Amino acid sequence: MISEKLQNAINAQITAEMWSANLYLSMSFYLQKEGYDGFATWMKKQSQEELDHAYNLADYLMKRGGEAKVDKIDVVPQGWGSPLEVFEHVYKHECHVSQLIDELVNIASEVKDKASQDFLWGYVREQVEEEATAQGIVDKLKRCGDHSGILYLDDKLGQRK
């Protein structure tokens, strides 16, 4: 059985993942409105990935005898500036999520739940990749220089599988 402290922390992370999904969906809508269909497609897929994280965390809780809950999900921002500003926000947000997941690992360690530590290390590794991907997109957008470069990157990111 999972400890109440860890269960509460994982439930908070489920809500955070759902907020992230809404954030990326909002970004997708904004980018599509601005004519960046490829960036919008990338964000929709990122939104789904965040929902998948929430589902996986909930499944894990239930397998361990816990109870998964969804708390109130706050409103997300609705507008940004350039694609660069959007992806800088993504990078900053992914760094924040990494801190949240690190704290989950710390709680699992504190309550001496090795199974949860092992499970959560998978999220730590995935977060490293998500941060690196966001930083890579920011770096590419900074190097684009002109609008044609941004449109090329928009097309490339729209091919995300």
Q: What is the pLDDT of residues 11-50, one digit of tens each?
A: 999 999 999 999 999 999 999 999 999 999 999 999 999 9
CATH number of the domain that 137 lies in? Answer: 1.20.1260.10
Domain count, the chain: 1
**Placement of tokens 């109870």 in the chain:** 67
Please give the residue range of the domain that contains residue 16. 4-157
* pTM (two decimals): 0.93
CA distance 40 to 27: 7
| Known binding residues for Fe cation | 17, 50, 53, 94, 127
Q: Point out the residues of the chain with pLDDT beneath 50.
A: none
| Known binding residues | 17, 50, 53, 94, 127
pLDDT of 160 reads: 80
Token pair for residue 131? 């941060």
Task: Give yes or no for a contact between 12 and 71, defined as CB atoms under 8 angstroms apart.
Answer: yes
CA distance 107 to 3: 10
